Amino acid sequence: MEPWCLVSVCISIMLFPVLSAFPVCFSRLTRSFAAAATFTTAIVTAASPAPAAAAPDTSSGWVKHPANPVVGDKKTGTCFDVSMLREDGLFKMWFSWRPKHSLAYTESKDGVKWSAPRIVLPPPKRTAWESNINRPGILKKDGVYHLWFTGQHKGRSAIGYATSPDGLNFTRHSEKPVLVAEQAWEKTTVMCPHVEWDAPSKLFRMWYSGGEQYEPNAIGYATSPDGVVWEKHPKNPVFAADKNNRWERHKVTAAQLLRHDGWWYMFYIGFEHDNLARIGMARSRDGVTNWERHAGNPIVSPGPKGTWDSLAVYKPFVIYTPEDKLWRLWYNGRPGALELIGLVTKHGEDLGFVPAPPTKPPAGNAVGGEKPAK
């Protein structure tokens, strides 16, 4: 009971013998106490702040699928960081399977219900630099599946290369990585390759992440005529964190690029700190310079407490299907250490891109979450 209620009751009890002789006065006094109680309640209620509305976990027309997560469960363990193709009416996914230290493959007709995964690239016994295999980038050219992947060992990451006639049985082109950390900004790590073939220049174009082993810091760019020998851009990194934008002020990484409507669109992870990640979008005419960030960023954020992706969302991969004018974005999320793969969608061909205005330095700091294996 509230203190003012106790006071009202006590006073009423003490005055009852006197007031009982005066029924009218007692009635009026009782009503006065009741009115005072109501008034006090109103003041307390008005002074109490209303519960804060939950921050939206998507923006700009993106919607999380009700069947999420769509790939992985406690039985499979962590499934994360995908690369995809769409062929013959199928969505084909190559993903990182942490308990197996390998890359796995699964396929789906609708992007929601997926086949049982199968390992397609395990770590070999003869090379030490790739004792863990993850973070693939897949491309099909001239009937051949080209796969760039991240190999990890003893706190370092490098990028390897393999090819396959069917996307399931891969042959490595070298026992050595094709891209390694050698520039100051890359520190110990290059990972998360995304590669596109540029027919006019006859070059493979790679966007990759470099920096620290637990979440790299920025995104670099390189080109190659054969997928093996790469030339890094002289002004790397070509995309870095916006220190004045709180949600991505710490790091940016794990980009996917796609060409659409005369622009190169980048979907990427932005880190507020190492354990809080969201997904954003930017665009550039050449895929290297003059990047414009989307005004609606971040477009995907962690869900409410208790949901499967409540702590962080990572590594987007987007496919647009013109027949139903639907954008599908797969990503991995986590409520703790277990990462699984979910889906968000957006209707209509127009991505609704509005460049973000200049940002100002944010105020305050955020609190970290549980740190998963990386």
What is the average pLDDT across 54-66? Answer: 90
Sheet holding 276-284, edge to edge: 251-260, 263-273, 276-284, 292-293
Are residues 173 and 28 both part of a single domain?
A: no
Are residues 76 and 32 both part of a single domain?
A: no
* 98 is a domain residue: yes
Are residues 32 and 164 both part of a single domain?
A: no
Q: Decide if pLDDT at 296 tops 70.
A: yes
Are residues 87 and 151 both part of a single domain?
A: yes
What is the average pLDDT across 246-268? Answer: 97
- Domain CATH code at residue 118: 2.115.10.20
Structural domain of 22: 3-47
* 356 is a domain residue: no
Are residues 34 and 89 both part of a single domain?
A: no
Are residues 284 and 151 both part of a single domain?
A: yes
In the chain, how many domains are there? 2
* 370 is a domain residue: no
* 372 is a domain residue: no
Are residues 183 and 216 both part of a single domain?
A: yes
pLDDT at residue number 373: 62
pLDDT digits (tens, 9 = 90+) for 327-359: 999 999 999 999 999 999 999 999 989 888 876
What is the average pLDDT across 174-189? Answer: 97
Are residues 26 and 98 both part of a single domain?
A: no
pLDDT at residue number 355: 87
* 251 is a domain residue: yes
What is the average pLDDT across 18-26? Answer: 37
* 115 is a domain residue: yes
Are residues 203 and 150 both part of a single domain?
A: yes
Above pLDDT 70, what percent of the chain? 81
Are residues 167 and 297 both part of a single domain?
A: yes
pTM: 0.83
Are residues 28 and 140 both part of a single domain?
A: no
Are residues 21 and 107 both part of a single domain?
A: no
* 365 is a domain residue: no
